[in-house]
Amino acid sequence: MPRRRARSTWGSNEDAGNGRRRLRYWADLHDGRGYTRHSMTIVGSRRDGDETLARLRVEHSADRPTPTLRQAYEAWYLPELRERVESGDMAPHSMTMYESTWRAHVCPAWGNTPVTDIRPLGVQQWLMGMTTESARKSLALMGRVLAKCVLYEAAPTNVAREDYRIPRRTGREHSKDVYTLSELLAALDAVRGTAAYIPAIMCGLASCRVGESLGPLRAEVRETEVHGMTLAVVDIVRQVDRYGHVADRLKTRSSERPVVVPEPWAADVLAVDAEWLCDNGCGEPIGSAVAGRAWDARLADAGLSPIPFRNLRNSWRTYMRWELGVAEDMLEAMMGHVGRNVGEIHYDRPRWEVFAAAVADAWMRYRARDNGSLGTI
């Protein structure tokens, strides 16, 4: 009885008849299929087959199973995003943005491609088919996923870090217009009594993002007096989306903060008699879509040029710095931004009294100039 040949520890060398050998082995040939099984047929003896397998083994000894970009995203990056949301380090809205960019742009083009087969030329061609904003977001997301691949030694380099040309083709441009203080006050007078009034105060006079302006409960508003000025201090701990859905997490952990509304608008905030500061009349908060429609409609009726509702926060940052003269580091803290140095990030813990004093001082100095730009105040 003939002795069975022992199985090779790497690949196989089988008789294919007529003096041919069929060789099978595992390798990454960088043909878009990743680390997978290959076969070839040669003419020759068993020894010829063994020698060919030996050469292939040397050539592919460093090959290893290579994940596709989709596998890397799902195994390494997506769990990290979820963990950051659960810990409060990232807002659910940001998570939604990443997932949307992945589904719309990155996955359809590269999801099934092994990460070692993503080439700069292909990435450049892919980017040129998108708008400027989509290209930037998509490239950034790909780069974060590939960074994980480099970390876990599944890819030698991060090709998303090449110096790519970003297309200038734009979709709908977001307006960067802001109001001066006098323009803001005219707009507030125009929307008084509408669903946009209290949210506009919170954004344009107290630094809130749109979702933040809709989230406070009336019980989270308190009255204080500084230098004879009555202020409303509002705790920002949650946000509300476009449709009125409440999220108990803000954009970042540092976004949780007190904000201060100056007088005389503080009186309007303190006079709210409902469960939510921006109540819809049924014990629930209004959504940003409702506030935005009321804002646009009433300003149009008044013959005023509306800026996007979200730009009220930008307006606050601009006039507080350049018209009211508040220090930049104080404004950053009042906006809920993470500091830029160790002290600001880990040690600064300003109390609401500090913010209230800063707001009162700034408005009192401005009024003392008696320049008439504050209208009826």
| Listed residue (79, 70, 72, 139) closest to 107, CA to CA | 70
Residue 91, classed as helix, strand or coil, is: coil
Q: Are 21 and 51 within 8 A, CB to CB?
A: no
Report the number of distinct structural domains present in the chain: 3
CATH of the domain at 124: 1.10.150.130
Q: pLDDT tens digits, the chain, 377 residues: what are they?
A: 454 444 455 688 899 898 999 998 877 777 767 667 888 999 999 988 888 888 887 777 666 677 899 999 998 999 999 998 888 777 787 888 899 999 999 999 999 998 988 999 999 999 998 988 899 999 999 999 999 999 988 888 999 999 999 988 665 667 888 999 999 999 999 999 999 999 999 999 999 999 999 999 999 999 999 989 999 999 999 999 888 888 887 877 778 899 999 999 999 999 999 999 999 988 999 999 999 999 999 999 999 888 999 999 999 999 999 999 999 888 988 998 865 654 454 445 567 888 999 999 999 998 887 554 444 34
Same-domain check for residues 211 and 296: yes
CATH of the domain at 223: 1.10.443.10
Q: Give, to the nearest 10 degrees, the angle between helix 197-204 and helix 181-191.
A: 160
Same-domain check for residues 103 and 220: no
Rounded CA separation 304/340 (Å): 38
Residue 376: inside a domain:
no
Same-domain check for residues 215 and 81: no
User: pLDDT at position 172, please?
Assistant: 61
Non-local CB neighbours of 142 within 8 Å, separated by 6+ positions: 69, 106, 110, 118, 123, 160
**Listed residues 105, 129, 161: the one ending a domain:** 161
Q: Which domain holds residue 245?
A: 181-368
